[in-house]
Structure 1
Amino acid sequence: MPMFPTEHAVRTTPEGLLWEPSERWVRGAKGDVTVVDSRHPVLVWEPGVPVPLYAFPREEVREDLLRPAKNPPTDAHTGSRVFYDLEVAGERTENAAWTFPAADLADHIAFEWFRRVGRGLDHWYEEEEEIFIHPRDPHKRVDAIAGSRHVRVEINGTVVADTRRPVLLFETGLPTRYYIPREDVRLDLFAPTDRRTGCPYKGTAEYWSWRGEADVPPNIVWSYPDPLPAVGAIKGLLAFYNEEVDITVDGELQERPITPFSTKPSST
């Protein structure tokens, strides 16, 4: 079947930005105040940044809440020079918004996400679903598939999990994660922590750390107690960082991958 270009094809600017329109209804809020309400958002990928962000037409932004930045950064967001502080209910958030230098995006404003950089808008919604950290990438897949492989996890020679009923999570750009039923994990060897993280594809995760003496990073085990519907199969299951433990699948020891989640740099 022949393929035809569409109005949603990814475009490139001379500054190296990639962007494409999105048909999702996106809203962003600071506390209880809606700052963005857009049915014409644009996804933007900055050079060297693996995840996208949103930019919005000015008419769909509460510009009355924006003030010229008092202390604009000089090296942020691909050469942007126009930054705004956000003022809501008497509270001013510095450099919460900006415009890109690209002519294609001149009439759009982008915002920081609080849960990603510690400032900016703190609630974001696509349609009626709250999302976290960054927008979902339409060019990325996350599939959770029930399996019957024999998966064994070891830490410093101690078997901490052994199952033949994992759920395999395939996420573009990351190693396969093996989610294991709690009954098949030695959870008594781990201690729960206060760490919580949000993922736009999976939801909010809780963590456990290794109780033993081996040199193991904290928060080595995680679970999604209430995952998003698209990955509901991983609900309550436990996963380990492939980067830091030994995982054997159907008798074959898996190589520890080097990813942004690795605590030790690659030797190559």
Structure 2
Amino acid sequence: MTTFPTERAVRTTPEGLLWEPSARWVRGRRGEVTVVDSRHPVLVWEPGVPVPLYAFPREEVREDLLRPAKNPATGTHTGSRIFYDLELDGELQENAAWTFPASDLAGHIAFEWFGRVGRGLDHWYEEEEEIFIHPRDPHKRVDAIASGRHVRVEIDGTLVADTVRPVLLFETGLPTRFYIPREDVRLELLVPTDHHTGCPYKGTADYWSWRGGAAVPANIVWTYPDPLPAVGAVKDLLAFYNEAVDITVDGEGMERPVTPFTRALAEQTRP
């Protein structure tokens, strides 16, 4: 019989994993089939990975759908050597699940999220709310606050946005993002793209690219047309990557921050 941890405290394993019991009811599905139905999930943070994932007691997993992996994805998760393929309706999802070597997590199975890596379970729910990309971190805040600051945005020396009614989005571990009303943005300098991203805190974003000829990353501007309720104040407002544009706030120029997005933006830069 498994003893489920109840104490709410982050613990560390010798392998460098951080983990914490969660009180949320979590379900994971592949299509219409529920593969995980857990009231005792554990949040796990791997070294060097900024977002958590879930691991679940075996008793709350459909192990009858798991097969020993034909081509184990060793090296993809901290110290893990046991991987499983998910077989469902004749379809095989390779390396959809795995176990961690940490003794603290013995008897638990973790799953990939399709929306994050392109394999694994494709629908996830906390209580009755569907969540996307990865679990939300209980130690992270995301606050969208209306402001009267004067914000100017330039791209390659050209003024693209000028507002005194931004919404500032404060997200733990990231620079402040300045969301600007469309009326205060020179939309003729931007072109919409078919790029979209998902965020478990904010929702699904649409993107624009810069029309100019400078070496500027693609998809440098985004908006949330239907944001999650917690950040509803940013609905239809436009934000720019601080990492790749020049932003002035109340007359003071901001340094371009180095973030997890910096490298990806550099790789997207087009002539």
TM-score normalised according to structure 1 size: 0.95
Q: Counterparts of 1:146 and 1:34 in 2: how far apart (Å)?
A: 40
Aligned counterpart, 1:83? 83
Aligned counterpart, 1:130? 130
State the secondary structure of the residue aligned to 2:153. Answer: strand
Aligned counterpart, 1:3? none
Q: Counterparts of 1:32 and 1:178 in 2: how far apart (Å)?
A: 39
Q: How many residues align?
A: 260
Q: Counterparts of 1:48 and 1:148 in 2: how far apart (Å)?
A: 37
- 1:37-186 matches, cutoff 5 A: 37-186=37-186
AA aligned opposite 2:261: F
How many percent of aligned residue pairs carry the same amino acid?
Answer: 84
The answer on whether the counterparts of 2:217 and 2:266 sit within 8 Å (CA) in structure 1 is no
Q: Counterparts of 1:121 and 1:219 in 2: how far apart (Å)?
A: 28
Aligned counterpart, 2:3? none
Q: Counterparts of 2:118 and 2:22 in 1: how far apart (Å)?
A: 25
Cα displacement string for residues 195-220 of structure 1 (whole angstroms, at most 9, x for unaligned residues): 11000110000000011111110000
State the secondary structure of the residue aligned to 1:115. Answer: helix
Q: Counterparts of 1:178 and 1:259 in 2: how far apart (Å)?
A: 16
The answer on whether the counterparts of 2:155 and 2:245 sit within 8 Å (CA) in structure 1 is yes
Instruction: Verify: 1:257 aligned to 2:257, yes or no.
Output: yes
State the secondary structure of the residue aligned to 2:83. Answer: strand
Q: Counterparts of 2:225 and 2:8 in 1: how far apart (Å)?
A: 35
The answer on whether the counterparts of 2:208 and 2:220 sit within 8 Å (CA) in structure 1 is yes
Measured after TM superposition, the shift of residue 74 of structure 1 is 2.2
Q: Counterparts of 1:29 and 1:79 in 2: how far apart (Å)?
A: 26
Cα displacement string for residues 25-78 of structure 1 (whole angstroms, at most 9, x for unaligned residues): 111111111111111100001111111000001111111110110010221211
Q: Counterparts of 2:30 and 2:21 in 1: how far apart (Å)?
A: 24
Q: Counterparts of 2:124 and 2:187 in 1: how far apart (Å)?
A: 34
Instruction: Verify: 1:236 aligned to 2:236, yes or no.
Output: yes
Measured after TM superposition, the shift of residue 242 of structure 1 is 0.3
Measured after TM superposition, the shift of residue 264 of structure 1 is 4.1
Displacement over 6 Å in runs of 4+: none
Q: Counterparts of 1:34 and 1:188 in 2: how far apart (Å)?
A: 47
Measured after TM superposition, the shift of residue 94 of structure 1 is 0.4
State the secondary structure of the residue aligned to 1:64. Answer: helix
Q: Counterparts of 2:202 and 2:249 in 1: how far apart (Å)?
A: 24
Q: Counterparts of 2:75 and 2:224 in 1: how far apart (Å)?
A: 36
Gaps of 5+ in 2: 1-5
Measured after TM superposition, the shift of residue 89 of structure 1 is 1.1
**RMSD over equivalenced CA pairs, Å:** 1.1
Q: Counterparts of 1:140 and 1:103 in 2: how far apart (Å)?
A: 27
The answer on whether the counterparts of 2:44 and 2:55 sit within 8 Å (CA) in structure 1 is yes
AA aligned opposite 2:237: L
- 1:148-227 matches, cutoff 5 A: 148-227=148-227
Gaps of 5+ in 1: 1-5
AA aligned opposite 1:235: K
Q: Counterparts of 2:235 and 2:74 in 1: how far apart (Å)?
A: 43
State the secondary structure of the residue aligned to 2:94. Answer: strand
